[in-house]
Amino acid sequence: MDKISGNKYARHIVSAAVIVAGTFIMAVGNMAFLNPYDIVPGGFTGFSIVLNKVFVPFVTPGVISLILNVPLFIAAFKIKGRSFSLMSLVGTVAYSVFIDLIPMLRLDLAALTDNALLAAIYGGILLGFGYGIVIRTGGSTGGSDALAGIVTAKKPSASFGTVLLFIDAFVVLFSGAAFSIKYGGIRYGIPPALYAFLVIYLSARIADYVIEGKTSSRAYFIFCSDPDLMAAEILSRVRRGVTALSAKGMYTGREKLVLYCVVLRTESALLKRVVFESDPSAFVTSANTNEVFGEGFARHTVYKKPDGGKN
């Protein structure tokens, strides 16, 4: 049991360290690139930055963010469980510390350029990359994604993405209005808000790439007149495995076999050529696959349990 517990705690420590690294990258993108141009990329952190700059300058954004996240953390603990809440606590606290620490270090990378667009692009890339690391490791930075998770848990019909988009859009519009009032004109608040929407889109795309991986494979369903011949051609010429699935045509009522085959994107053209050379009347559908594990593709690392133990 001691060895098992030790392995479990070691995994938690490694996960926590990776989450901290991810939040640091996020904080660099936010505070070193976006903050100097008043670009607020949504979320509770963005809301905290606006409150700090416009309404309560005597309280740091990190402290405001932590205060706002307390009720969310309590709710997440009840709904998501202890393990998720622990990793979320690590991410939330680390991110809040870093968004206060980086300005103190005067790490103003936006000063390298006077172009707000470049700052938005690189800030968005870092935000998305860091966020992807946090989520892929099983953590969270609290804030809007935690709130969206709670809302969807309570109301399953609600879309997580829609709730998240609504929260981020509200924060961005709020920042535009607040900065317009502070600086005395709408022309000072609207441009940062427009850049913020660009950051939200870019960071989301980068985060998806980190979390799900590059879409490098395609899955094909092949309907043909002679499945045995088709499978033999694919096996010999494409050198990829083929699985036959039983199906029934609801219009004709006939039983038939449908072939399922996953190939790399670079092999897609070859597969289609083999299919239609073998059966010009074949019906083929395909879909992108974000992750494929197994022989001929990526290997998935699993933690092995000690012999005779339970985890």
Same domain, 240 and 272: yes
Which of 162, 187, 212 is the C-terminal boundary of a domain?
A: 212
For residue 140, the model assigns a pLDDT of: 83
Q: Please tell me the total count of domains within the chain.
A: 2
| Span 121-172, pLDDT tens digits | 999 999 999 999 998 888 888 888 778 877 877 777 777 778 888 899 999 9
Task: Output the pTM of the full model.
Answer: 0.76
Is residue 6 pLDDT above 80, yes or no?
no
169 in a domain, yes or no? yes
Same domain, 46 and 155: yes
| Span 92-103, pLDDT tens digits | 999 999 999 998
Q: How far apart are CA 152 and CA 146, in angstroms?
A: 10
Same domain, 234 and 100: no
Give the C-alpha distances (Å, rounded to integers) separating 3 from 9, 86, 133: 10, 22, 28
Same domain, 230 and 201: no
307 in a domain, yes or no? no
70 in a domain, yes or no? yes
Same domain, 26 and 172: yes
Same domain, 205 and 222: no
Residue 256 belongs to what domain range? 217-289
* Mean pLDDT to the nearest integer, 106-127: 85
Is residue 308 pLDDT above 50, yes or no?
no
Helix (H, G, I), strand (E, B) or coil at 240: coil
Same domain, 175 and 82: yes
304 in a domain, yes or no? no
Same domain, 43 and 185: yes
Residue 280 belongs to domain with CATH number: 3.30.70.120
* Mean pLDDT to the nearest integer, 168-177: 93
Same domain, 119 and 239: no
